[in-house]
Amino acid sequence: MENMLLKIRYPKLLGLLATVAVAYFAVSESAFDPMRIYFQQLGYIGTLFAGILFTYGFTAAPATAMFATIAKQQNIFIAAAIGGIGALIGDMLIFKILRHSFKDEIDQLSKERPVAAMGSAIPTSIRGYIMPILGGFIIASPLPDEIGVGMLAASTNISGRAFTIFSFLLNSAGILAILILAGGL
């Protein structure tokens, strides 16, 4: 078994693709009907839980599938807000860990030659805005929030309060888009 794991070149990406495949089948196959019914019965508590899961790489695809299953059973605007609160809870955990526990490594990384070269290639007038904007796009999407939150945590321009508002609004907008695409309107 260990030899097989050594031969897989990108095991984490393979695992991520596997979660996407499972999420797809969870939404489309009748064998997963009991699971879909269970999530629908959880109501808005399930929506909050899906929001928390929406922020993490390996659970983003299943959370998206959960939102797709509830799109026709719940008010999509309330569901987006509650899912956004759940996602905010997950993002705040990531933000606090990255901002405080990884601060020394982030500072050290910013001094490395490739990172410093990329930073100097960006005009000073827009440098402070690129990381938050790019991080915001990632947070609003079903991509793993760890990447976007990491970008925002590394940006000293973002306060905890601004991050809270930013995270809630972007995640809620992303969840609302999923609910609309899943047929909730």
Work out whether the CA dihedral 32, 81, 100, 103 comes out positive or negative: positive
How many CA atoms lie less than 13 Å away from 153 in the CB half-sphere? Answer: 24
Residues 6+ apart with CB under 8 A from 22: 61, 62
In the chain, which residues have pLDDT < 50?
Answer: none
Provide Rg for the chain, Cα atoms.
18
Q: What pTM was estimated for this model as a whole?
A: 0.72
- For residue 65, what pLDDT is reported? 86
CA-CA-CA-CA dihedral for 164, 166, 169, 171, to nearest 10? -90
Residue with tokens 């805005």: 129
User: How confident is the model over 44-91, as pLDDT tens digits?
Assistant: 999 999 999 898 877 888 888 889 888 888 999 999 999 999 999 999
Residue with tokens 């930073």: 119
The structural domains of the chain, with segments of one domain joined by +, span 2-184
